[in-house]
Amino acid sequence: MNNGDLAIFSGTGTILWESGTGVSDARLKTNIVPIEGSLDKLSKIKCFYYKYDKSIDPTERRRIGVSAENICSVFKEAAPSADRVNLERLVPLIVNAIKELKVENDLLEREISRLEQV
């Protein structure tokens, strides 16, 4: 850890969280199951512009975001509570969606090449 970083430790001294990072060592994980249908799940997430209520942010600055309720209905692991979203937990879903798009794109490119040869 760098000086000034924050960390949360388990009872055994393992670092569980460190200034925006989480433990990702496969040796510490069990029941690993691939995420299926990431692109479909991401397409259900509603993104929007909004302003916080004046009692929360008197500047009335326009923001972009998602709602915890919507995220929870699509990917409950990314919404730890009814009013909070952990956007970091969406990263694996986004990575898988990109992979799915690549597979689709590769198939389309092969089909285009085949049609051009006809």
Burial (CB count within 10 angstroms: exposed 0-12, middle 13-18, buried 19+), residue 79: buried
SS3 label, residue 104? helix
The pLDDT tens digits of the residues spanning 51-70 come to 988 888 888 899 999 999 99
Would the pTM of this model clear 0.75, i.e. be above it?
no
Cβ proximity of 2 and 15 under 8 Å: no
Which pLDDT tens digit goes with each residue over 2-14?
Answer: 444 555 555 565 5
